[in-house]
Amino acid sequence: MNLFKWGYRYYKKRIPVAVICQIMGEIAILIGLILPLIAQIIVDGVVNYKPGEEVPVNRFLTFLTGGKFGELGSFRLFLSLAVIVLGLVIVRTLLVYFRNVWFRKNFLPIENAIRNAEYGKLFKLSNKALSGYNTGDLLTTLDSDAVQLKDLYTLYLMLIIDSVFMLVIIGVFLFSIKAELLIIIAALVPFLLFFLGKYVKISRKVSNDIRDRNAEMNLVAQESVNGIRLIKAYANEEREAKRFRDCNVNTEKALVKQVTVQAKYNVVFNTLRQIAYVASVAACGYFAIKGDIKIGQLLACTSYVVSFMNIVTNLNNYLYTTQQLAVSGERVVKFMAAEEIPDTHRVERIDNFDIAIKNLSVEIDGAYVLKNVNLNIPYGTKLGVMGSTGSGKSVLLKTLGAIITPTSGEVTIGGRNIEEYDKEEIRRQFSFVFQDVFLFSDTIDANIAFAVPDAPFEDVKNAAKISKAHGFIKTMPGGYETIIGERGLGLSGGQRQRISVARALVKNSPILVLDDATSALDRSTEKSLLETIKEKYPDKTMIISAHKVSSVKDCDVIIYMHEGEIAETGTYGELVAKGGMFAEVDRIQSEREVG
């Protein structure tokens, strides 16, 4: 979708405000440019006034020297002009002030609207679309890109119009004072534009280079910090130091290159500016000697010529920035157009929690991860899922929660295909606990009550007791009010897992899925945790995937997955008696036969 078309919907409502702001700005600019003309009258008509001489005045300002405000050369004229100058200045600054405040007040909501749209979209992205982004990309798109997109529509559009307006007005003024002076501008601006173009190109290359070098250095620093134990254990500090030094050298080179480029081009731009200045002084001096213009006009003209050059430079920068902002904007548009999880919204309530898996197959990247799986899980079943890494356990669990869509076959719940239900309803009825726990930097209490933010503290405490987290939470400095760091920093793997189980329990869904969720616990804690859950929630369906036989031993049914298929099904006793793969794993893990 076209960037401007996309952004227009946010901008549309604000167009009247934008127009008013623009007009306020243009009036302010006009006043700003008239002020030097009045100063010129002060210089030529008062300070340097020689009786009998004619005082040149801009044709729009002749009323000032008509005598109403004081005779030429008189102090009264100066006073009147000074009052007019100050009055205009106050009007101008108030215009600028209110425009800037009002403008931001009205345009910040655009950024917020974009932010809200993107934030909502974040949770609607399909897995495929989501896998195309890493955390850093997403953060840029949702944060700084939203700011830049807003700036593109508002701030830069305004600045560009302002600049063009100023150039026109200066051109008109110069023309009205001495048209020949426009030749200086006409001669220099092409050179200025040429070098600006070159400079933008080369500085873009240099700054990209710096960004890459910085990223490399950041990565090394990050790896050194995160991998500090490994580095020390392998006594490889020297290697890391060398890696860092290489990056440091490269970064320094790139930065010095930038300094050099900037310094060099500044020579070029300063030269052009100096030429403009000297040329206008020389030309004005010549015209002044000839009597065409007065000293005040000389001052006004030189300052106009120099500002003209400066505004052209700024305009060029704005246009360059606009291009970059457009790139950010495109990212936002692309993000907003990314594929979403299809949501059919047909059935809003699940009334019956019997699950059936029929001929289920899942293909990922051309390979079958699940092949023709059939299984019934009536409500209240405690199901154990075992199998080696890559056997398809996790994928099977994810298809149950409709997190992964099957390639063929179906998962039904209460007799209906799971895809027919509202996604939110599925999420309400399933509680997933994943192996890699993500905790938020907040209090332990808030983390456990994540699903039900206003859950009574009793519920939180009960859940923590069942998940065996209460014990260690109690000993923490702030108890349940202790704030944990990002990703649960400061807690051990086992502690994190216990909090995440408690979090799922507070949600109190009829179906609880533990996907290798207790792997970091020691055997006794794990066993008593699982036992307590079964005891406290006898009605709920529980699906436990694990590596340890002890975790699934007491389940009603255990399935053993192998290469995407259910290889063995039965109770613990049945599977051991069968003497198959599960029995072998049990033998390896259990000491009984050896002992």
Among positions 99-128, residues that touch another protein (CB under 8 A) are: 100-101, 104-105, 108-109, 112, 115-116, 119-120, 122-123
Question: Quick one: which segment of 54-62, 170-178, 323-331, 583-591 binds another protein (CB under 8 A)?
Answer: 583-591
> How many chain residues are in contact with another protein, going by CB under 8 A?
147
What is the rounded distance in angstroms from the CA atom of residue 164 to the CA atom of residue 170?
10
Residue 334 interacts with another protein (CB under 8 A): yes or no: no
Contact by Cβ (8 Å): 544, 555 = yes
Specify burial of residue 294 (Cβ count, 10 A radius: 0-12, 13-18, 19+): buried
The binder of another protein chosen from 23, 90, 327, 337 (CB under 8 A):
90
CB of 314 to another protein, least distance (A): 17
**Counts of helices then strands in the chain (DSSP H, E):** 21, 10
What is the rounded distance in angstroms from the CA atom of residue 201 to the CA atom of residue 404?
46
Residue 338 interacts with another protein (CB under 8 A): yes or no: no
What is the rounded distance in angstroms from the CA atom of residue 192 to the CA atom of residue 182?
15
CB of 359 to another protein, least distance (A): 26
Backbone phi, then psi, for 225, in 5-degree steps?
-75, -45
CB of 104 to another protein, least distance (A): 5
Contact by Cβ (8 Å): 125, 341 = yes
Contact by Cβ (8 Å): 101, 141 = no
Residue 332 interacts with another protein (CB under 8 A): yes or no: no
The binder of another protein chosen from 11, 78, 320, 368 (CB under 8 A):
78
Interface positions, 198-237, toward another protein (CB under 8 A): 214, 217-219, 221-237
Residue 359 interacts with another protein (CB under 8 A): yes or no: no
Contact track, another protein, 292-311, x by CB under 8 A: ---x--xx------------
What is the rounded distance in angstroms from the CA atom of residue 351 to the CA atom of residue 343?
19
CB of 459 to another protein, least distance (A): 15
Instruction: Enter the DSSP assignment of 1.
Output: -
The binder of another protein chosen from 173, 450, 480, 560 (CB under 8 A):
450
Nearer to another protein, 62 or 112 (CB): 112
CB of 244 to another protein, least distance (A): 5
Contact track, another protein, 553-572, x by CB under 8 A: --------------------
Residue 187 interacts with another protein (CB under 8 A): yes or no: no
Q: Which residues lie below 8 Å from residue 381, measured CB to CB, with a gap of 6+?
A: 541, 542, 556, 557
Bridge-based pairing of strands 408-413 and 355-364 is: antiparallel
Nearer to another protein, 1 or 82 (CB): 82
Angle between helices 144-151 and 135-142 (to 10 degrees): 30
Interface positions, 481-510, toward another protein (CB under 8 A): 482-487, 489-490, 492-494, 503, 507
Residue 143 interacts with another protein (CB under 8 A): yes or no: yes
CB of 262 to another protein, least distance (A): 7
Convert 244-277 into a string of H (helix), E (strand) and C (coil). Answer: HHHHHHHHHHHHHHHHHHHHHHHHHHHHHHHHHH
What is the rounded distance in angstroms from the CA atom of residue 246 to the CA atom of residue 479?
47
Instruction: Enter the DSSP assignment of 352.
Output: -
Instruction: Enter the DSSP assignment of 46.
Output: I
Contact by Cβ (8 Å): 151, 145 = no
Nearer to another protein, 202 or 319 (CB): 202
What is the rounded distance in angstroms from the CA atom of residue 505 to the CA atom of residue 498?
11
Interface positions, 37-76, toward another protein (CB under 8 A): 42-43, 46-48, 75
Residue 389 interacts with another protein (CB under 8 A): yes or no: yes
What is the rounded distance in angstroms from the CA atom of residue 397 to the CA atom of residue 541?
13
Residue 364 interacts with another protein (CB under 8 A): yes or no: no
Nearer to another protein, 203 or 214 (CB): 214
Handedness of CA 424, 428, 430, 436 (dihedral sign): positive
Interface positions, 508-547, toward another protein (CB under 8 A): 519-525, 527, 547
CA distances from 289 to 28, 183, 300 (A): 34, 19, 16
Residue 131 interacts with another protein (CB under 8 A): yes or no: no
CB of 427 to another protein, least distance (A): 5
The binder of another protein chosen from 17, 61, 85, 202 (CB under 8 A):
85
CB of 218 to another protein, least distance (A): 5
What is the rounded distance in angstroms from the CA atom of residue 323 to the CA atom of residue 442?
40
CB of 241 to another protein, least distance (A): 6
Residue 593 interacts with another protein (CB under 8 A): yes or no: no
CB of 411 to another protein, least distance (A): 16
The binder of another protein chosen from 80, 361, 462, 550 (CB under 8 A):
550
Calculate Rg over the CA atoms of the chain: 37
Nearer to another protein, 2 or 131 (CB): 131
Mark residue 468 as left, alpha or beta (left: phi above 0; alpha: psi -120 to 50; beta: remaining): left
Interface positions, 238-257, toward another protein (CB under 8 A): 239-241, 244-245, 248-249, 251-252, 255-256
